[in-house]
Amino acid sequence: MQGQYKCNVDAGFHDAEGKASVGWCVRDHMGRFILAGSSWIQGKCSTIEGEAIAMLEAMKELEQRGFTNVMFETDSKNVKSIKRQANMVAHTLARAAIS
């Protein structure tokens, strides 16, 4: 659908250097390249932390550029959707921040 974007994110690990890196790529509803970014992660991190940092970096950049209606995709199997009841404390804290 026009006005929708897809952002693929990933983390890479470079054992020889003891570093990790993140990358992300945005495409429009037709699959056309729009924007991409990559960076090194300071310090060591786990696979799930690397994936989360990649998504956070992409979100920050896209928000700064005014993108809305973005679907994020990762190959991480650790990011899960849960029912709101199971996430009520975090939900309540998030709502309190905007009160």
The domain that holds 27 is classified in CATH as: 3.30.420.10
Q: What are phi and psi of 11, to 5 degrees?
A: -120, 145
Output the six-digit token pair for 34.
Answer: 């729009």
**pLDDT one-digit tens code per residue, 89-99:** 887 888 888 87
Query: Using an 8 Å Cβ cutoff, are 56 and 20 in contact?
Result: no
**C-alpha–C-alpha distance, residues 55 and 82, integer Å:** 18
Helix (H) or strand (E) holding 13, with range, is strand 5-14
Closest by CA to 72, choosing from 52, 93, 87, 48, is: 52
Number of domains composing the chain: 1
Q: What is the pTM of this model?
A: 0.77
Distance of CA 31 to the CA centre of its chain: 18
Residues of the domain holding 26: 5-97
The dihedral built from the CA positions of residue 61, 21, 41 and 46, taken in this order, carries a sign that is: positive
Residue 1 pLDDT class (50, 70, 90 cuts): low
**pLDDT one-digit tens code per residue, 15-53:** 777 789 999 999 999 999 999 999 999 888 888 899 999
**pLDDT one-digit tens code per residue, 74-87:** 888 776 777 777 88
